[in-house]
Amino acid sequence: MKKKLLLILIISIPLSLIGQETRLWKKSAFTITPEVLTGITAPANDGFPETDLHKQLLITLGRNHKNNPQEWAQRIKGLRTGIGFGISDFGNLDSLGVAITVIPQIQFNAFGSERFSVTTGMGASYFTKNYDPITNPNNRAVTTDYTWAFRLFLNYNFLKTQSLDWNIGIGYSHHSNGHTKLDNQGYNSFLLSLSAAINNPFKISEENIPIPKKIVEHSSYSYFTLRGGLGWNVLALAFNDNREVYSFSAEYGKVYNNTWKVGLGLNYRFYEHYYDYINGNESLVQHGREFEDFKEHPVWNASNISVAINGEVLLNHVGIAVQIGYNFHKPGYKIDYRINEGWDNTPREIPESWMLGEFNTKFKLKHRISSRIGAKYYFIGTTKQPQHNIFIGAHLNSNLGQADFSEVSFGYVYNFGN
């Protein structure tokens, strides 16, 4: 149920990029983009199955926003949005199977040129094959049927006609389950693409569509946000069942040109896995072991306090958000790192002779630096600059880029006005 709820949010939040408004410009803005991709999928673990070329077909239903009069659409040059539906063959059907993907995407100009563009997207995939200790022991990339899906591509428009935009691209594709079950090595693929954007396939006349006025005015206003989140993760192979992560945050910042949102936030998180480990008197907190003193304050030692810089692109009802933070307090992660970064398959009852993860530079960075990426849906479009707004969101949280937990959230925004 938890994974289905998260999957629905991942897919449905950005669907409003297609469904917003019903103005005349939208009737001629529809695009269909078939795309074929090929490349390599990197081995996810020692003994990973042999693979041939990665092959993928993606069809994106989208919209070209050149005639969208809203400010955010005019501020972001070359903006296209859409939902991609794809199928991927990773080069070994017997062990890796195929992935069926639904991925909301955004495309915009790069290097100040209409020839170059960047496409990025985040959605979900269903896998027909995943890890099984008996029938599929060598594929430790994915252990769940459903995963997050992410792609980032640089495109070059080498041929443009009235109805077709031909592009070649190079980029990266990633699938993983957001640390909701281990193993979770994930698939990392490096791909070349060829695509043809079919513009205005229904041949609707653009003669009556007014050209948007050039926006030259600049604006800014302040905002304050409160957010609560519910996430899920696992601790280690020996503790491979989902537990909740509860999060709360307060954020203050500014919105520029009703498009770019930048803020500073204070975050609190409580990890049930850390609390259960400490309160359950597991190996590393037992008498005489390294973290014995954690039992004196189990709630505090299962908590995380951080400060973060938040950036967001506002697309009316949809916000695409990225966060990078610094953890002032996250003692439970020390247990996490000791268990997961030492010898493989650390047992629940850990012998004192077992090689555990060392607190090296890698640990210090992952312990202190957090990140978060995902999407929000605002119930009132941000183009209206409402004083009060609420949103729901789906995000992936990480420790220095390594998945920490998957999360759904609900929040309130107060805008102070221009």
Write out the residue range of the structural domain in which residue 98 sits: 2-199
| Domain termination residue (choose one: 145, 168, 199) | 199
Q: Which of 384, 407, 390, 246 is nearest to 323 (CA)?
A: 407
**Whether residue 383 sits in one domain with residue 237:** yes
Last-in-domain residue among 144, 166, 199: 199
User: What's the structural domain count of the chain?
Assistant: 2
Question: Do residues 190 and 225 share a domain?
Answer: no
Packed helices 361-368 and 332-340: angle between N→C axes, nearest 10 degrees: 140
163 and 256: one domain? no
DSSP annotation of 14: G
**Residue at 207 is within a domain:** no
Intra-chain end-to-end CA distance of the chain, in Å: 42
Let me know whether 190 and 236 are in one domain.
no
Whether residue 183 is found in the same domain as residue 230: no
Give the span between the Cα atoms of 233 and 235, in whole angstroms. 7
Does the residue 214 lie in any domain? no
Within-domain flag for 158: yes
Residues 310 and 240 in one domain: yes
Determine, yes or no, domain membership for 353: yes
DSSP annotation string for 272-289: HHHHHHHHTT-GGGSTTS
Task: Judge if 190 and 261 occupy the same domain.
Answer: no
Give me the CATH number covering residue 41: 2.40.160.20
Residue 206 lies in a domain: no
Check whether residue 165 and residue 236 sit in a common domain.
no
Question: Which residues make beta-bridge pairs with 35?
Answer: 58, 195
Query: How many Å apart are CA 52 and CA 367, to the nearest integer?
Result: 37
Does any domain span residue 407? Answer: yes
d(CA 63, CA 82): 6
Q: 204 in a domain, yes or no?
A: no
Question: Tens digit of pLDDT per residue, the chain (418 long)?
Answer: 555 555 555 555 555 454 444 466 777 788 999 999 999 999 998 899 999 999 999 999 999 998 888 899 999 999 999 999 999 999 999 999 999 999 999 999 999 999 999 999 999 999 999 998 889 999 989 999 999 999 999 999 999 988 899 999 999 999 999 999 988 889 999 999 999 999 987 777 766 677 777 777 899 999 999 999 999 999 999 999 999 999 999 999 999 999 999 999 999 999 999 999 999 999 999 999 999 999 999 999 999 999 999 999 999 999 999 999 999 999 999 999 999 999 988 999 999 999 999 999 999 999 999 999 999 999 999 999 999 999 999 999 999 988 999 999 999 999 997 6
Q: Which of 292, 294, 321, 297 is nearest to 308 (CA)?
A: 321
Q: Are residues 90 and 10 in the same domain?
A: yes
- Domain check: are 51 and 124 in the same one? yes
Could you tell me if 164 and 242 lie in one domain?
A: no
Residue 209 falls inside a structural domain: no
Same domain, 310 and 367: yes
C-alpha closest to that of 185 among 140, 151, 131:
140
